[in-house]
Structure 1
Amino acid sequence: MTQLESRPNQLHRTPETEASWRRLYRAGAVAGFVATALLIGDIALSGVGTVPETASAWLAQLRSNPWLGLRNLDLLNASLAVVTLPLSLAIYGAHRRSEPALTALGVLLGAVGAALFLGANVALPMLDVADRCTQDCPAAAEALLARGAHGSLGALPGFLVSEAGSLLLAWTMVRGGVFGRATAWAGLLGTAGLIAYTVAATAAGGTSGPLLMLALPAGVLALVWQVRTSLRLWALGRRDTLSHQGLP
Structure 2
Amino acid sequence: MLGERKSKSILLFGAFFSIFALLGISIDIIVGSFNGGGLLKLSQTAVDRFNELHSNTVLGLYNLDLLNIIIQILLIPSYFALFFAQRGRDFAFSLFAFVLFTFGTSIMVSANVALSMLELSEKYFNTNNESQRLLYSAAGEALLAQGKHGSPSVFLGFFIPTLANVLMSIVMLKSKVFGKLNAWIGIVGSVFMLIYIILINFNFGIKNVAVFLAMPGGLLLMLWMLLYTIRLFKLSV
TM-score (norm 2): 0.90
RMSD across aligned positions (CA): 1.5
Mean Cα deviation higher: 84-93 or 48-57: 48-57
Matched, 1:153 2:144: no
Gaps of at least 5 residues in structure 2 are 128-132
Q: Which has the larger radius of gyration?
A: 1
Mean Cα deviation higher: 109-118 or 151-160: 151-160
Q: What is the one-letter code of the residue matched to 1:176? A: S
Deviation per CA, 1:89-127, whole angstroms, max 9, x where unpaired? Answer: 111111111111111001101111111111000011001
Instruction: Give 1:6's aligned residue.
Output: none
Deviation per CA, 1:99-156, whole angstroms, max 9, x where unpaired? Answer: 1111100110111111111100001100111112225532111011111111111111
Q: Distance in 2 between matches of 1:183 and 1:126?
A: 39
Q: Alpha-carbon deviation of 1:209?
A: 4.0
Matched, 1:169 2:168: yes
Which residue, 86, 99, 103 being the options, matches 1:95?
Answer: 86
Instruction: Give 2:102's aligned residue.
Output: 111
Mean Cα deviation higher: 182-191 or 102-111: 182-191
Q: Distance in 2 between matches of 1:158 and 1:46?
A: 20
Deviating beyond 6 angstroms after TM superposition, the runs of 4 or more aligned structure 1 residues are: none
Q: Distance in 1 between matches of 2:205 and 2:179?
A: 36
Q: Distance in 1 between matches of 2:111 and 2:147?
A: 5
Number of residue pairs aligned between Structure 1 and Structure 2: 224
Instruction: Give 1:198's aligned residue.
Output: 197
Please state whether the residue corresponding to 2:160 is helix, strand or coil.
Answer: helix
Q: Alpha-carbon deviation of 1:213?
A: 2.0
Deviation per CA, 1:4-54, whole angstroms, max 9, x where unpaired? Answer: xxxxxxxxxxx2212111101101101100000000111111131541111
Higher helix share: 2
Instruction: Give 2:32's aligned residue.
Output: 46
Q: Is the Cα–Cα contact under 8 Å of residues 199 and 207 in structure 2 kept in the other structure?
A: no
Q: Alpha-carbon deviation of 1:212?
A: 2.3
Q: Distance in 1 between matches of 2:212 and 2:88?
A: 39
Deviation per CA, 1:55-82, whole angstroms, max 9, x where unpaired? Answer: 1111111111111111111111122221
Matched, 1:213 2:212: yes
Q: Is the Cα–Cα contact under 8 Å of residues 11 and 81 in structure 2 kept in the other structure?
A: yes
Instruction: Give 2:130's aligned residue.
Output: none
Q: Distance in 2 between matches of 1:28 and 1:151?
A: 30
- CA gap 1:57/1:206 in 2 versus in 1, 3 angstroms: farther
- CA gap 1:34/1:205 in 2 versus in 1, 3 angstroms: farther
- CA gap 1:18/1:206 in 2 versus in 1, 3 angstroms: farther
Q: What percent identity do the matched residue pairs reach?
A: 30
Mean Cα deviation higher: 41-50 or 84-93: 41-50
